[in-house]
Structure 1
């Protein structure tokens, strides 16, 4: 290959890398994160960069957020939040027939997070006084259990492909949200 051809290939490669990197960075990495508290999801809550080579149609990032208020007892409260900036959808995989079903599966990921936020709030309310260090340790422990439950949900439903398991999990999660004394 001649030197000129190599230079052209190198220039095209560098330009392509810079162009696609800029596109990714401007879409997600420097975007101000936007959060939703627990609610019914809509597709416009998924603002992250889609995963073009993913075998999944969508992904949600939801987590437990701690808030501190010195005027309340307990001082700490937990909330389920969804990170819109890191939640994504591959629109090429979404059809009019599967759209609501896939969104519903993602909603139940968010609902699982709400269950763990409620459980953490229950434990925090039972504490007369608790240090910041102990609260963070509790949060870490709940996050570990929360992540295990999210994995179990996806594994048992095969990421919603097993409709009977999906219906079972929906019933289970709805029951827990309705009757907090029922445990996972």
Structure 2
């Protein structure tokens, strides 16, 4: 039997093809005899331990095949023509793979749990040659390796592999070694990848250190970032007044920037939170007084209070390397909605500053929370 291999593996920053040749085995040239019995299921043999993983163990196998029919479509005899016989792995494909993985790789539950998702697994054959004594076949597999984080499976690496082979029409025993070699190729490649990336791939790390800071740079441009020692002035309201009955309006908002890197095997997450107002989008009609400026300042204060609440929530989160960005983004969006609700409630209850007693109540409420966060 002659065997050639073609496989592709994809992962973070990885995509390549490799073509190899694995030698020759004798192809029977004797007269073919029509098979009288169905082909036996393929028994994956654990010949020996493949290697000992240092960082992980195979926890489970998930059958994610769109076609869950038997894995092999084999030429049964020389007279079959295009008629193929379906043959499965002994005990079913997933059971056979689970047994095989546990046999060739030791299981250590103290290591990272890896789940292998089987997207495709096929053996396809065709009868060739004038004498109908030669069968050409191909093994194709598509595996996805995922890290089980408990609450979700985190994708790490995809591996697509294939081996083409030739056998004599009666040499069914030669199929299993080819399939086994394909599976071993996927396990070997994943093992090599995880050994190389164990300290460099964020998804594989477990410790996250979050650093939170406020952005307060003042470049004298269009943006004013919140600073408790720098209250607003009417000079910050440079926009053109709108056609409405309001005396002034402020555009204030919140945002954040995040950056991450790996330092001594730990994921460092640097979060910069910004509470700001835009001069060009904020305006005042004619001259106004300190009462009106206080009303607009309180809009700015509300945005800052919401940002401080967000920072508290982020500090309490159980962030993992695979989910910190998603979790912070979710809570930021919730804070943004909270800010809009509070701003609308503030304007509604104070009648946009016209209700003096209500304005005073909001002044006291806002000051109390600013003191809570050490901002007053």
Q: TM-score with structure 2 length normalisation? A: 0.36
1:57 maps to 2:247: yes
Equivalent residue, structure 1, for 2:284: 89
Runs of 4+ more than 3 Å apart: 69-74
Classify 1:77/1:121 alpha carbon distance in 2 versus 1 (closer, same or farther; 3 Å): farther
TM-fit CA distance, 1:70: 3.4
Which residue of 285, 291, 297 corresponds with 1:101? 291
TM-fit CA distance, 1:74: 4.9
More off after superposition, 81-90 vs 108-117: 81-90
Residues 25-64 of structure 1 aligned to structure 2 (within 5 Å): 34-39=222-227, 40-51=231-242, 53-64=243-254
What SS is found at the alignment partner of 1:55?
coil
Residues 8-23 of structure 1 aligned to structure 2 (within 5 Å): none
Equivalent residue, structure 2, for 1:19: none
1:133 maps to 2:323: no
8 Å CA contact retained: 1:46, 1:84:
yes
Q: How far apart are the structure 1 equivalents of 2:325 and 2:280?
A: 28
Aligned-residue CA RMSD in angstroms? 2.1
Unaligned residue ranges in structure 2 (runs of 5+): 1-220, 262-266
Deviations 1:113-151 (A, max 9, x none): 000010111111223425323222211111111101000
8 Å CA contact retained: 1:78, 1:120:
no
Equivalent residue, structure 1, for 2:102: none
8 Å CA contact retained: 1:74, 1:124:
no
Equivalent residue, structure 2, for 1:179: 372
More off after superposition, 100-109 vs 117-126: 117-126
Which residue of 361, 369, 375 corresponds with 1:168? 361
8 Å CA contact retained: 1:77, 1:124:
no
Q: TM-score with structure 1 length normalisation? A: 0.71
TM-fit CA distance, 1:68: 2.2
Q: Which has the higher helix share?
A: 1
Unaligned residue ranges in structure 1 (runs of 5+): 1-32
Q: How far apart are the structure 1 equivalents of 2:278 and 2:328?
A: 22
Q: How far apart are the structure 2 equivalents of 1:137 and 1:116?
A: 14
Higher relative contact order (CA 8 A, sep 6+): 1
Q: How far apart are the structure 2 equivalents of 1:35 and 1:114?
A: 15
Question: What is the number of residues matched between the two proteins?
Answer: 143
Q: How far apart are the structure 1 equivalents of 2:331 and 2:223?
A: 22
- CA radius of gyration, larger in: 2
What SS is found at the alignment partner of 1:85?
helix
Q: How far apart are the structure 1 equivalents of 2:269 and 2:310?
A: 12
Deviations 1:49-86 (A, max 9, x none): 211x2110111011112022437965223221111121
Q: How far apart are the structure 2 equivalents of 1:65 and 1:119?
A: 13
8 Å CA contact retained: 1:67, 1:77:
yes
Classify 1:74/1:174 alpha carbon distance in 2 versus 1 (closer, same or farther; 3 Å): farther
